[in-house]
Amino acid sequence: MITGGCDVGSATGKAVIMENGIVLAGHVIPSGQKPGETAQEAMNGAMEKAGISSIDEFSYIVGTGYGRSKVPFAQENMSEITCHARGAHWLNPAVRTVVDIGGQDCKVISLNDTGKVIEFIMNDKCAAGTGRFFEAMARVLHCSLEDISSLSNQGKNPPEMSNQCVVFAESEVVTLISDEAELNDIIAAINISVSGRVSSMVRRVGLIEELALTGGCSKNKGLAKALTERLEVTVKKLPQDPQIAGALGAALIAEAKMLKQSEREIA
């Protein structure tokens, strides 16, 4: 039985293909202007990796993400909250708190021991603490997102950053540059600033160990370090690409639906 999940986000499109509980392939691409085309391209990439020639070989496909209703080949769509929870729990059953930082929103999800969502909070009203925020900071600093993420670029004397709004934070970083603050210290300050906002969301939901990051910003090692220090809890690294957690969760939900249908037919 082959199932699929397709997560169409604002910054990237992700697709995961599973067969009988095993991940065959995952694929990540930048999002285009049309969610449907992004979904198709992401799934095509995953199918090529898995050696699947036709979408007709799938038993069921679930779409998720902000563009979930535009996935043309999905039989159903589900909230990214549910899908990220399911995907993270499958990757590490010990995880009880998931922080998903995507291109334009941030979500903190609390899970029970079966991976069911207990509580969540979501920031989707501004770009503070999201991928767009990091992109803006990288642009002002004339560096890459990889530079901001690298642990080797986290300075030991970060200045305090008071602003979370992208516009005001950009102005603040420009001031720090003009004051000749070290680049590594500014990068550390940016990650510490974002960790403060995320930590407050975690505390509102209620921190339960273990904690894991999903979404594109989960690859920011500097942010993971800052969160670890602020929350005084180790951010657990997931065994597979955390950016595909939502698509993986969607594929798992598709698989569970097919298994349940099969059981009813046998009964």
The string of DSSP letters for 190-259 reads HHHHHHHHHHHHHHHH---S-EEEESGGGG-HHHHHHHHHHHTSPEEPPSS-GGGHHHHHHHHHHHHHHH
Pairwise CA distance, residues 166 & 29, whole Å:
25
Predicted TM-score (pTM) of the model is 0.93
Q: How confident is the model at residue 181 (pLDDT cuts 50, 70, 90)?
A: very high
Pairwise CA distance, residues 179 & 114, whole Å:
51
pLDDT digits (tens, 9 = 90+) for 51-61: 999 999 999 99
Question: Would you list the domain boundaries of the chain?
Answer: 1-92+239-267, 94-237
Pairwise CA distance, residues 69 & 166, whole Å:
29
As assigned by CATH, the class of the 1-92+239-267 domain is: alpha beta
- Which range (106-110, 158-162, 172-176, 261-265) has the least confidence? 261-265
Q: How confident is the model at residue 129 (pLDDT cuts 50, 70, 90)?
A: confident
Fold classification of 94-237 (topology level): Nucleotidyltransferase; domain 5 (3.30.420)
Amino acid type, 33: Q
Amino acid type, 182: E
Element (H, E) at 26: strand 22-30
- Both tokens of 67, joined, read 């563009």
What is the rounded (10 degree) CA torsion for 65, 87, 6, 62? -90
